[in-house]
Structure 1
Protein backbone atom coordinates (compact mmCIF):
# COMPACT_ATOMS: atom_id res chain seq x y z
CA UNK A 1 0.00 0.00 0.00
CA UNK A 2 1.38 3.41 -0.95
CA UNK A 3 2.15 5.75 1.97
CA UNK A 4 -0.51 8.26 1.02
CA UNK A 5 -3.07 5.45 0.73
CA UNK A 6 -2.04 4.34 4.20
CA UNK A 7 -2.58 7.83 5.58
CA UNK A 8 -5.89 8.05 3.75
CA UNK A 9 -6.98 4.72 5.14
CA UNK A 10 -6.20 5.87 8.67
CA UNK A 11 -8.17 9.07 8.14
CA UNK A 12 -11.11 7.03 6.85
CA UNK A 13 -10.90 4.70 9.84
CA UNK A 14 -10.82 7.64 12.25
CA UNK A 15 -13.89 9.23 10.66
CA UNK A 16 -15.64 5.84 10.60
CA UNK A 17 -15.39 5.62 14.37
CA UNK A 18 -17.73 8.62 14.60
CA UNK A 19 -19.76 8.11 11.42
CA UNK A 20 -20.09 4.38 10.99
CA UNK A 21 -22.92 3.98 8.48
CA UNK A 22 -22.37 1.23 5.92
CA UNK A 23 -21.33 2.73 2.59
CA UNK A 24 -22.08 1.66 -0.97
CA UNK A 25 -19.30 -0.48 -2.34
CA UNK A 26 -16.71 1.15 -4.57
CA UNK A 27 -17.20 -0.14 -8.11
CA UNK A 28 -13.66 0.36 -9.34
CA UNK A 29 -14.64 2.93 -11.94
CA UNK A 30 -11.80 4.39 -14.01
CA UNK A 31 -10.16 7.57 -12.83
CA UNK A 32 -11.59 9.74 -15.58
CA UNK A 33 -15.07 9.36 -14.04
CA UNK A 34 -14.02 8.68 -10.44
CA UNK A 35 -10.87 10.73 -9.80
CA UNK A 36 -11.02 10.74 -6.00
CA UNK A 37 -9.21 8.01 -4.06
CA UNK A 38 -11.60 5.54 -2.47
CA UNK A 39 -10.68 6.58 1.06
CA UNK A 40 -11.62 10.19 0.28
CA UNK A 41 -14.92 9.10 -1.26
CA UNK A 42 -15.56 7.12 1.92
CA UNK A 43 -14.80 10.09 4.14
CA UNK A 44 -17.06 12.33 2.09
CA UNK A 45 -19.91 9.84 2.24
CA UNK A 46 -19.47 9.22 5.96
CA UNK A 47 -19.70 12.98 6.49
CA UNK A 48 -22.79 13.26 4.29
CA UNK A 49 -24.92 14.97 6.95
CA UNK A 50 -22.37 17.67 7.86
CA UNK A 51 -21.51 18.22 4.19
CA UNK A 52 -25.20 18.50 3.30
CA UNK A 53 -25.68 21.04 6.08
CA UNK A 54 -22.71 23.11 4.90
CA UNK A 55 -24.10 23.11 1.37
CA UNK A 56 -27.58 24.15 2.45
CA UNK A 57 -26.16 26.95 4.60
CA UNK A 58 -24.13 27.92 1.55
CA UNK A 59 -27.36 28.06 -0.42
CA UNK A 60 -28.78 30.58 2.03
CA UNK A 61 -25.59 32.65 1.86
CA UNK A 62 -25.68 32.45 -1.93
CA UNK A 63 -29.17 33.87 -2.13
CA UNK A 64 -28.05 36.61 0.27
CA UNK A 65 -25.06 37.27 -2.01
CA UNK A 66 -27.25 37.53 -5.11
CA UNK A 67 -29.48 39.91 -3.19
CA UNK A 68 -26.45 42.19 -2.88
CA UNK A 69 -26.28 41.89 0.90
CA UNK A 70 -23.18 39.87 1.88
CA UNK A 71 -21.98 42.45 4.42
CA UNK A 72 -25.14 44.43 5.09
CA UNK A 73 -28.25 43.55 7.10
CA UNK A 74 -30.01 46.90 6.81
CA UNK A 75 -33.20 47.08 4.72
CA UNK A 76 -34.04 46.76 1.90
CA UNK A 77 -33.05 43.11 2.02
CA UNK A 78 -33.27 42.39 -1.71
CA UNK A 79 -31.00 44.46 -3.92
CA UNK A 80 -28.21 43.37 -6.24
CA UNK A 81 -28.96 41.04 -9.11
CA UNK A 82 -32.16 39.65 -7.59
CA UNK A 83 -33.42 43.12 -6.81
CA UNK A 84 -32.89 44.20 -10.41
CA UNK A 85 -34.78 41.23 -11.89
CA UNK A 86 -38.48 40.35 -12.02
CA UNK A 87 -39.64 37.76 -9.51
CA UNK A 88 -40.35 35.23 -12.27
CA UNK A 89 -36.65 35.28 -13.20
CA UNK A 90 -35.42 34.32 -9.73
CA UNK A 91 -35.06 30.56 -10.49
CA UNK A 92 -32.73 31.45 -13.39
CA UNK A 93 -30.31 33.69 -11.49
CA UNK A 94 -28.65 32.14 -8.40
CA UNK A 95 -26.94 29.23 -10.16
CA UNK A 96 -24.37 28.42 -7.48
CA UNK A 97 -26.88 28.51 -4.60
CA UNK A 98 -29.11 26.19 -6.63
CA UNK A 99 -26.17 23.84 -7.19
CA UNK A 100 -25.32 23.66 -3.48
CA UNK A 101 -29.01 23.08 -2.77
CA UNK A 102 -29.09 20.20 -5.26
CA UNK A 103 -25.99 18.47 -3.86
CA UNK A 104 -27.09 19.07 -0.27
CA UNK A 105 -30.52 17.57 -0.92
CA UNK A 106 -28.96 14.75 -2.94
CA UNK A 107 -26.86 13.71 0.05
CA UNK A 108 -29.87 14.00 2.35
CA UNK A 109 -31.96 11.88 -0.03
CA UNK A 110 -29.27 9.21 -0.15
CA UNK A 111 -28.97 9.07 3.62
CA UNK A 112 -32.75 8.75 3.93
CA UNK A 113 -32.88 6.05 1.22
CA UNK A 114 -35.05 8.18 -1.06
CA UNK A 115 -34.83 7.24 -4.73
CA UNK A 116 -34.55 10.55 -6.59
CA UNK A 117 -32.12 10.01 -9.49
CA UNK A 118 -32.99 13.32 -11.15
CA UNK A 119 -31.94 15.18 -7.99
CA UNK A 120 -28.63 13.35 -7.90
CA UNK A 121 -27.96 14.34 -11.50
CA UNK A 122 -28.85 17.98 -10.88
CA UNK A 123 -26.37 17.87 -8.01
CA UNK A 124 -23.70 16.27 -10.21
CA UNK A 125 -24.13 18.74 -13.06
CA UNK A 126 -24.40 21.73 -10.74
CA UNK A 127 -21.23 20.89 -8.83
CA UNK A 128 -19.22 20.24 -11.99
CA UNK A 129 -20.48 23.28 -13.83
CA UNK A 130 -20.58 25.95 -11.12
CA UNK A 131 -17.66 24.42 -9.25
CA UNK A 132 -15.43 25.08 -12.26
CA UNK A 133 -17.17 28.07 -13.87
CA UNK A 134 -16.90 30.40 -10.90
CA UNK A 135 -13.14 29.95 -10.25
CA UNK A 136 -12.47 30.54 -13.95
CA UNK A 137 -14.55 33.71 -13.97
CA UNK A 138 -12.99 35.02 -10.76
CA UNK A 139 -9.39 34.21 -11.66
CA UNK A 140 -9.41 34.93 -15.40
CA UNK A 141 -12.14 37.51 -15.98
CA UNK A 142 -13.06 39.38 -12.81
CA UNK A 143 -9.90 39.49 -10.74
CA UNK A 144 -9.95 40.45 -7.05
CA UNK A 145 -11.09 44.04 -7.50
CA UNK A 146 -14.48 45.21 -6.34
CA UNK A 147 -15.07 42.76 -3.48
CA UNK A 148 -13.24 42.01 -0.21
CA UNK A 149 -10.22 39.77 -0.71
CA UNK A 150 -11.52 37.18 1.75
CA UNK A 151 -14.77 36.92 -0.22
CA UNK A 152 -12.87 36.61 -3.50
CA UNK A 153 -10.88 33.62 -2.27
CA UNK A 154 -13.87 32.15 -0.47
CA UNK A 155 -15.78 32.11 -3.76
CA UNK A 156 -12.91 30.39 -5.55
CA UNK A 157 -12.09 27.75 -2.95
CA UNK A 158 -15.67 26.93 -1.97
CA UNK A 159 -16.60 26.38 -5.61
CA UNK A 160 -13.60 24.15 -6.22
CA UNK A 161 -14.79 22.07 -3.26
CA UNK A 162 -18.15 21.77 -5.03
CA UNK A 163 -16.41 20.23 -8.04
CA UNK A 164 -14.90 17.57 -5.76
CA UNK A 165 -18.29 16.83 -4.22
CA UNK A 166 -19.63 15.85 -7.63
CA UNK A 167 -17.44 12.76 -7.59
CA UNK A 168 -19.11 11.34 -4.49
CA UNK A 169 -22.40 10.87 -6.30
CA UNK A 170 -21.42 7.89 -8.45
CA UNK A 171 -21.19 5.77 -5.30
CA UNK A 172 -24.93 5.98 -4.63
CA UNK A 173 -26.63 7.13 -7.86
CA UNK A 174 -27.42 5.06 -10.95
CA UNK A 175 -26.77 7.84 -13.49
CA UNK A 176 -29.81 6.72 -15.46
CA UNK A 177 -30.20 8.18 -18.93
CA UNK A 178 -33.51 9.84 -18.02
CA UNK A 179 -32.00 11.57 -15.00
CA UNK A 180 -29.07 12.77 -17.11
CA UNK A 181 -31.57 14.13 -19.64
CA UNK A 182 -33.30 16.12 -16.88
CA UNK A 183 -30.01 17.72 -15.86
CA UNK A 184 -28.99 18.41 -19.47
CA UNK A 185 -32.32 20.11 -20.08
CA UNK A 186 -32.09 22.30 -16.98
CA UNK A 187 -28.49 23.39 -17.39
CA UNK A 188 -28.75 23.66 -21.16
CA UNK A 189 -31.81 25.87 -20.74
CA UNK A 190 -29.85 27.98 -18.26
CA UNK A 191 -27.05 28.46 -20.76
CA UNK A 192 -29.51 29.56 -23.43
CA UNK A 193 -31.31 32.16 -21.33
CA UNK A 194 -28.15 33.27 -19.52
CA UNK A 195 -26.21 34.13 -22.65
CA UNK A 196 -27.98 33.62 -25.97
CA UNK A 197 -31.76 34.15 -25.83
CA UNK A 198 -32.54 36.60 -23.01
CA UNK A 199 -35.96 36.34 -21.39
CA UNK A 200 -37.56 38.13 -18.44
CA UNK A 201 -35.28 41.16 -18.72
CA UNK A 202 -32.18 38.94 -19.08
CA UNK A 203 -29.43 37.94 -19.67
CA UNK A 204 -29.49 36.30 -16.25
CA UNK A 205 -25.95 34.97 -15.89
CA UNK A 206 -24.13 35.98 -12.73
CA UNK A 207 -23.10 39.60 -12.96
CA UNK A 208 -19.51 39.87 -14.13
CA UNK A 209 -17.37 42.63 -12.70
CA UNK A 210 -15.43 42.39 -15.97
CA UNK A 211 -18.48 43.70 -17.85
CA UNK A 212 -18.62 47.52 -17.81
CA UNK A 213 -21.65 49.09 -16.17
CA UNK A 214 -23.56 51.19 -18.69
CA UNK A 215 -26.92 52.90 -18.75
CA UNK A 216 -29.57 50.26 -18.25
CA UNK A 217 -27.23 47.57 -16.89
CA UNK A 218 -24.05 45.76 -17.85
CA UNK A 219 -22.43 45.78 -21.28
CA UNK A 220 -22.81 42.23 -22.57
CA UNK A 221 -20.99 42.93 -25.83
CA UNK A 222 -17.50 42.68 -24.30
CA UNK A 223 -15.18 39.69 -24.65
CA UNK A 224 -15.64 38.71 -20.99
CA UNK A 225 -19.29 37.90 -21.67
CA UNK A 226 -18.37 35.62 -24.57
CA UNK A 227 -15.64 33.87 -22.59
CA UNK A 228 -17.99 33.26 -19.66
CA UNK A 229 -20.63 31.93 -22.05
CA UNK A 230 -18.19 29.67 -23.85
CA UNK A 231 -16.86 28.17 -20.62
CA UNK A 232 -20.41 27.60 -19.35
CA UNK A 233 -21.31 25.66 -22.49
CA UNK A 234 -18.07 23.66 -22.36
CA UNK A 235 -18.80 22.68 -18.75
CA UNK A 236 -22.36 21.62 -19.58
CA UNK A 237 -20.95 19.40 -22.31
CA UNK A 238 -18.26 18.09 -19.97
CA UNK A 239 -20.80 17.23 -17.28
CA UNK A 240 -22.95 15.48 -19.89
CA UNK A 241 -20.01 13.42 -21.10
CA UNK A 242 -18.92 12.48 -17.58
CA UNK A 243 -22.45 11.53 -16.55
CA UNK A 244 -23.03 9.31 -19.58
CA UNK A 245 -19.53 7.83 -19.33
CA UNK A 246 -20.19 7.02 -15.69
CA UNK A 247 -23.41 5.30 -16.72
CA UNK A 248 -21.57 3.22 -19.31
CA UNK A 249 -18.87 2.20 -16.84
CA UNK A 250 -21.49 1.22 -14.26
CA UNK A 251 -23.41 -0.88 -16.78
CA UNK A 252 -20.19 -2.65 -17.79
CA UNK A 253 -19.66 -3.73 -14.20
CA UNK A 254 -23.23 -4.95 -13.84
CA UNK A 255 -23.03 -7.18 -16.92
Structure 2
Protein backbone atom coordinates (compact mmCIF):
# COMPACT_ATOMS: atom_id res chain seq x y z
CA UNK A 1 0.00 0.00 0.00
CA UNK A 2 1.44 3.35 -1.05
CA UNK A 3 1.93 5.95 1.68
CA UNK A 4 -0.08 8.44 -0.40
CA UNK A 5 -3.18 6.31 0.25
CA UNK A 6 -3.42 7.80 3.76
CA UNK A 7 -4.19 11.27 2.40
CA UNK A 8 -6.28 10.07 -0.54
CA UNK A 9 -9.98 10.86 -0.90
CA UNK A 10 -10.78 7.16 -0.51
CA UNK A 11 -9.13 7.00 2.92
CA UNK A 12 -9.96 10.44 4.30
CA UNK A 13 -13.66 10.27 3.38
CA UNK A 14 -14.19 6.70 4.58
CA UNK A 15 -17.14 6.96 6.95
CA UNK A 16 -15.52 4.81 9.64
CA UNK A 17 -12.45 7.03 9.61
CA UNK A 18 -14.57 10.19 9.58
CA UNK A 19 -16.45 9.03 12.67
CA UNK A 20 -13.18 8.14 14.38
CA UNK A 21 -11.85 11.61 13.58
CA UNK A 22 -15.12 13.18 14.73
CA UNK A 23 -15.00 11.55 18.17
CA UNK A 24 -11.28 12.21 18.62
CA UNK A 25 -11.87 15.89 17.90
CA UNK A 26 -15.02 16.00 20.02
CA UNK A 27 -13.19 14.55 23.02
CA UNK A 28 -10.25 16.88 22.39
CA UNK A 29 -12.66 19.83 22.29
CA UNK A 30 -14.17 18.89 25.65
CA UNK A 31 -10.70 18.47 27.14
CA UNK A 32 -9.71 21.85 25.71
CA UNK A 33 -12.60 23.64 27.40
CA UNK A 34 -11.72 21.89 30.67
CA UNK A 35 -8.10 23.03 30.16
CA UNK A 36 -9.36 26.62 29.93
CA UNK A 37 -11.51 26.18 33.04
CA UNK A 38 -9.45 28.40 35.36
CA UNK A 39 -9.18 31.19 32.78
CA UNK A 40 -12.90 30.98 32.02
CA UNK A 41 -13.72 31.29 35.73
CA UNK A 42 -11.29 34.18 36.11
CA UNK A 43 -12.74 35.98 33.09
CA UNK A 44 -16.31 35.54 34.34
CA UNK A 45 -15.27 37.00 37.69
CA UNK A 46 -13.18 39.90 36.38
CA UNK A 47 -14.46 40.80 32.90
CA UNK A 48 -17.83 41.54 31.25
CA UNK A 49 -19.79 38.41 30.39
CA UNK A 50 -19.74 39.04 26.62
CA UNK A 51 -15.95 38.62 26.51
CA UNK A 52 -16.14 34.96 27.55
CA UNK A 53 -16.72 33.77 23.99
CA UNK A 54 -13.28 35.08 22.97
CA UNK A 55 -11.35 33.23 25.69
CA UNK A 56 -11.11 29.53 24.69
CA UNK A 57 -9.40 29.86 21.30
CA UNK A 58 -8.08 26.37 20.50
CA UNK A 59 -11.10 24.42 21.80
CA UNK A 60 -13.42 26.61 19.74
CA UNK A 61 -11.28 25.98 16.65
CA UNK A 62 -11.50 22.25 17.38
CA UNK A 63 -15.26 22.59 17.83
CA UNK A 64 -15.55 24.25 14.41
CA UNK A 65 -13.66 21.35 12.82
CA UNK A 66 -15.67 18.71 14.70
CA UNK A 67 -18.96 20.22 13.51
CA UNK A 68 -17.58 20.60 9.98
CA UNK A 69 -17.09 16.84 9.77
CA UNK A 70 -20.85 16.41 10.20
CA UNK A 71 -21.35 18.34 6.96
CA UNK A 72 -18.98 15.89 5.24
CA UNK A 73 -20.80 12.90 6.71
CA UNK A 74 -24.29 14.23 6.02
CA UNK A 75 -24.80 16.55 3.06
CA UNK A 76 -27.78 18.78 3.94
CA UNK A 77 -30.36 19.51 1.28
CA UNK A 78 -31.31 22.83 2.82
CA UNK A 79 -29.54 25.87 1.35
CA UNK A 80 -29.56 27.56 4.77
CA UNK A 81 -27.88 24.57 6.43
CA UNK A 82 -25.38 24.45 3.59
CA UNK A 83 -24.47 28.09 4.14
CA UNK A 84 -24.09 27.54 7.88
CA UNK A 85 -21.89 24.53 7.19
CA UNK A 86 -19.72 26.52 4.80
CA UNK A 87 -19.09 29.22 7.40
CA UNK A 88 -18.24 26.58 10.02
CA UNK A 89 -15.84 24.92 7.58
CA UNK A 90 -14.10 28.16 6.74
CA UNK A 91 -13.78 28.95 10.45
CA UNK A 92 -12.45 25.44 11.04
CA UNK A 93 -9.68 25.82 8.49
CA UNK A 94 -8.56 29.34 9.42
CA UNK A 95 -8.70 28.88 13.19
CA UNK A 96 -7.31 25.34 13.28
CA UNK A 97 -4.28 26.32 11.21
CA UNK A 98 -3.82 29.53 13.22
CA UNK A 99 -4.16 28.14 16.74
CA UNK A 100 -2.49 24.86 15.90
CA UNK A 101 0.68 26.65 14.83
CA UNK A 102 0.30 29.34 17.51
CA UNK A 103 0.24 26.92 20.44
CA UNK A 104 3.27 24.98 19.22
CA UNK A 105 5.18 28.21 18.58
CA UNK A 106 4.35 29.64 22.01
CA UNK A 107 5.46 26.46 23.79
CA UNK A 108 8.81 26.47 22.00
CA UNK A 109 9.20 30.22 22.55
CA UNK A 110 8.56 29.73 26.26
CA UNK A 111 11.24 27.06 26.41
CA UNK A 112 13.70 29.31 24.60
CA UNK A 113 13.07 32.00 27.22
CA UNK A 114 13.96 29.61 30.02
CA UNK A 115 10.58 28.06 30.74
CA UNK A 116 10.42 24.50 32.05
CA UNK A 117 9.33 21.50 29.98
CA UNK A 118 6.74 18.90 30.99
CA UNK A 119 4.85 16.03 29.41
CA UNK A 120 1.74 18.14 28.90
CA UNK A 121 3.69 20.46 26.62
CA UNK A 122 4.52 17.54 24.35
CA UNK A 123 0.90 16.42 24.36
CA UNK A 124 -0.17 19.94 23.36
CA UNK A 125 2.47 20.06 20.61
CA UNK A 126 1.19 16.79 19.14
CA UNK A 127 -2.51 17.68 19.39
CA UNK A 128 -2.16 21.21 18.05
CA UNK A 129 0.06 20.10 15.17
CA UNK A 130 -2.67 17.61 14.28
CA UNK A 131 -5.24 20.44 14.32
CA UNK A 132 -3.38 22.36 11.63
CA UNK A 133 -2.61 19.31 9.51
CA UNK A 134 -6.13 17.87 9.50
CA UNK A 135 -7.65 21.23 8.57
CA UNK A 136 -5.41 21.51 5.51
CA UNK A 137 -6.06 17.89 4.56
CA UNK A 138 -9.84 18.30 4.67
CA UNK A 139 -10.24 21.69 3.06
CA UNK A 140 -10.69 20.02 -0.34
CA UNK A 141 -13.73 18.14 0.99
CA UNK A 142 -15.35 21.23 2.44
CA UNK A 143 -17.78 23.25 0.36
CA UNK A 144 -17.10 26.80 1.48
CA UNK A 145 -16.25 29.59 -0.91
CA UNK A 146 -14.94 33.15 -0.71
CA UNK A 147 -17.82 34.70 1.21
CA UNK A 148 -17.51 32.18 4.06
CA UNK A 149 -13.75 32.67 4.08
CA UNK A 150 -14.20 36.43 4.50
CA UNK A 151 -16.49 35.82 7.50
CA UNK A 152 -13.92 33.45 9.03
CA UNK A 153 -11.14 35.98 8.45
CA UNK A 154 -13.10 38.80 10.08
CA UNK A 155 -14.02 36.65 13.08
CA UNK A 156 -10.42 35.56 13.66
CA UNK A 157 -9.10 39.12 13.40
CA UNK A 158 -11.87 40.27 15.77
CA UNK A 159 -10.81 37.57 18.22
CA UNK A 160 -7.22 38.83 18.11
CA UNK A 161 -8.44 42.37 18.72
CA UNK A 162 -10.50 41.30 21.74
CA UNK A 163 -7.67 39.17 23.15
CA UNK A 164 -5.06 41.90 23.17
CA UNK A 165 -7.34 44.86 23.84
CA UNK A 166 -8.98 43.37 26.93
CA UNK A 167 -6.13 41.02 28.00
CA UNK A 168 -8.18 37.86 27.49
CA UNK A 169 -5.55 36.15 25.34
CA UNK A 170 -4.68 32.54 26.28
CA UNK A 171 -2.54 32.47 29.40
CA UNK A 172 1.10 32.48 28.38
CA UNK A 173 4.19 30.89 29.93
CA UNK A 174 5.53 33.28 32.57
CA UNK A 175 8.74 33.59 30.59
CA UNK A 176 6.84 35.29 27.73
CA UNK A 177 4.91 37.91 29.69
CA UNK A 178 7.74 40.40 29.20
CA UNK A 179 7.39 39.92 25.44
CA UNK A 180 3.63 40.49 25.16
CA UNK A 181 3.92 43.00 22.31
CA UNK A 182 5.91 40.48 20.30
CA UNK A 183 3.37 37.74 21.04
CA UNK A 184 0.54 40.05 19.92
CA UNK A 185 2.29 40.94 16.68
CA UNK A 186 3.11 37.29 16.01
CA UNK A 187 -0.51 36.32 16.68
CA UNK A 188 -1.98 38.85 14.25
CA UNK A 189 0.64 37.99 11.64
CA UNK A 190 -0.18 34.31 12.03
CA UNK A 191 -3.86 35.06 11.54
CA UNK A 192 -3.06 36.69 8.21
CA UNK A 193 -0.86 33.74 7.20
CA UNK A 194 -3.64 31.30 8.15
CA UNK A 195 -6.16 33.21 6.05
CA UNK A 196 -3.70 33.09 3.15
CA UNK A 197 -3.18 29.34 3.65
CA UNK A 198 -6.95 28.76 3.61
CA UNK A 199 -7.28 30.87 0.46
CA UNK A 200 -4.48 28.98 -1.32
CA UNK A 201 -5.88 25.63 -0.21
CA UNK A 202 -9.31 26.67 -1.48
CA UNK A 203 -7.87 27.67 -4.85
CA UNK A 204 -6.08 24.34 -5.09
CA UNK A 205 -9.24 22.46 -4.14
CA UNK A 206 -11.21 24.20 -6.90
CA UNK A 207 -8.62 23.10 -9.45
CA UNK A 208 -8.57 19.48 -8.27
TMscore range, shorter length: 0.7 to 0.9
Q: Deviations over 1:163-186 (max 9, x none)?
A: 111112222223411000110011
Q: Deviations over 1:46-87 (max 9, x none)?
A: 311111111111111111111139xxxxxxxx6455655443
- Aligned equivalent of 1:6: 2
List aligned pairs for 1:95-110, cutoff 5 A: 95-110=57-72
- Aligned equivalent of 2:186: 231
Q: Are residues 1:187 and 2:153 paired?
A: no
Q: Say whether the 8 Å CA contact 2:44–2:52 is kept in structure 1.
A: yes
Q: Which runs of 5+ in 1 are unaligned?
A: 13-37, 70-77, 213-218
Q: Which runs of 5+ in 2 are unaligned?
A: 77-81
SS in 2 for 1:98: helix
Q: CA deviation at 1:135?
A: 0.5
**Cα RMSD after superposing both structures:** 2.6
Q: Aligned residues, how many? A: 198
- Aligned equivalent of 1:161: 130
- Aligned equivalent of 2:79: none
2:53 is aligned, of 91, 110, 129, to: 91
Instruction: Tell me the TM-score normalised to structure 2 length.
Output: 0.82
Q: In 1, Cα distance between the equivalents of 2:33 and 2:63?
A: 11
Q: Which has the higher helix share?
A: 2
Q: In 2, Cα distance between the equivalents of 1:61 and 1:82?
A: 19
Q: More relative contact order in 1 or in 2 (CA 8 Å, sep 6+)?
A: 2
- Aligned equivalent of 1:16: none
Change in 2 beyond 3 A, CA 1:53/1:86: farther
Instruction: Tell me the TM-score normalised to structure 1 length.
Output: 0.68
